[in-house]
Amino acid sequence: MKSTKQGLTFIFITLLLDVMGIGLIIPILPKLVEGFVDNNLSVASHYLGILISVYAFMQFLCAPLLGSLSDQYGRRPVILLSLLGYGLDYLLLAFAPSLGWLFVGRVIAGITGGSFTTASAYIADISEPEKRAQNFGLIGAAFGLGFIIGPALGGVLGEISLRLPFFAAAGLTLLNWLYGFFILPESLSLNDRRPFSWKRANPISALTNLGKYPIILGLTGSLVCLNLAGQIHPSTWVLFTTSQFQWTELDVGLSLAFVGLTVAIVQGGLTRVIVPKLGDRLSVVTGLCLSAAGFVLFGLATQGWMMYVAMVPFALGGIAGPAIQGLISRQVGPSEQGTLQGTLTSLVSITAIVGPLTATSLFAYFNAPQAPVHLPGAAFFMGTLLTLLGLLIALRSFPRRKLNAEPVVQGLNRGAGPD
């Protein structure tokens, strides 16, 4: 029990510092892109979506590879490699002289962007199956707290210089790497490791393999819809609030800090209380309904304070993600958690390719002077539809009998073979 708590503490701090680094640059990245395109907001919104999608595409290609490597060599070295890549990326962004160099930096970060993949596998390694949904909530809590500190600090530093937050992010991430190097223990025992396979590391093969297991495939579909909707916030939050409410970098940073606070409270605290009481299935249904309501309120907001009101039901909807992820992770054994989490990350990366491009395109289209209807919140309404689709898929995917990991694990082990 003591080692489990220590492991969860280690991985939580690792993710917290990592997210803080990401949160630091969110308030200023759109402004930096604007500076490279003659301060044209519409053009900048398109490039911003492409920039985010490039990172996601590289992560799509490499996440199953890193997950498979962690199944053979352990979680610790993969996490350290990921953090080092992030740190170098932030330094490159800090010195980038042109828009092209921003894309180079995102490619590097995407290749090594496996920290959350291996963090999920790490949590599965040290958690009892019935407590995985609660412990997966720590990932959301790290996101929440990281986005309390990161964006607020990024907004303040961005007022001084648009480049300064990148240096701060690099420092935090490399500090995180040092912390992991000296403190983070390995979670995967030698007995639970399996040889690396290029077939399992191939993202196409990894995704195809999910189709063999209806429970995993269905719940994964619901998770994909949830994450696709979730891409709307980082893609259009700054664009929407600056256009609608004329928010400054500081206003944006403080608003994202409030988002982080509500997410941290829900996923770091309430998830550990609500999910055991409601059960995984009811938590999924309740969470998705609340998320859909939050998206509607975001899209209808006409004053800045309304965004803060909408954040409450949206944050409460955060109980759905850990519950879905917990149900999925219970279907495979310890030696396959890295591959599974890598495959899930690869799928999430696809949503990060499609989501930002779609969301920013919707914003650009409905915010342009020639738009047939002026609807700046169009992307948020799309999030409502995606969340409701995820709810429908989840309801159809829940097995009639109680979930039992053992038969599926046996099936997966049989299917793994010596490929």
Residue 176: pLDDT above 60?
Answer: yes
The Cα–Cα gap between 322 and 222 comes to 12
pLDDT of residue 380: 93
Average pLDDT over residues 383-391: 94
| Cβ proximity of 376 and 363 under 8 Å | yes
Please provide the average confidence, as pLDDT, over all residues in the chain.
79
Structural domains of the chain in order of their starting residue, each with its CATH number: 2-183+199-414 (1.20.1250.20)
Q: What is the mean pLDDT of residues 202-218?
A: 71
Q: Per-residue confidence at 289, pLDDT binned at 50, 70, 90?
A: very high
Report the distance separating Cα 377 and Cα 240, nearest Å.
7
| Per-residue confidence (pLDDT) for residue 416, from 0 to 100 | 38
Predicted local distance difference test score (pLDDT) of residue 418: 34
Query: Which residues are CB-neighbours of 248 under 8 A, at least 6 positions away?
Result: 155, 159
Amino acid found at 174: L
pLDDT band at 314 (very low <50, low <70, confident <90, very high): very high
Q: Is the pLDDT of residue 26 over 80?
A: no
> At 115, is the pLDDT very low, low, confident or very high (cuts 50, 70, 90)?
low
Strand residue runs (E) in 159-302: none
Name the nearest CA neighbour of 88 among 154, 21, 139.
Answer: 21
Query: Which tokens is 76 given?
Result: 């610790």
At 59 the pLDDT is 78
Helices (H), 279-401: 280-300, 304-316, 320-329, 337-367, 378-397
Q: Distances from the Cα of 408 to the Cαs of 78, 129, 341, in angstroms?
A: 27, 14, 16
Assessment of whether the complete model's pTM goes beyond 0.85: no
- The DSSP element (H or E) to which 44 belongs, if any, is helix 41-73
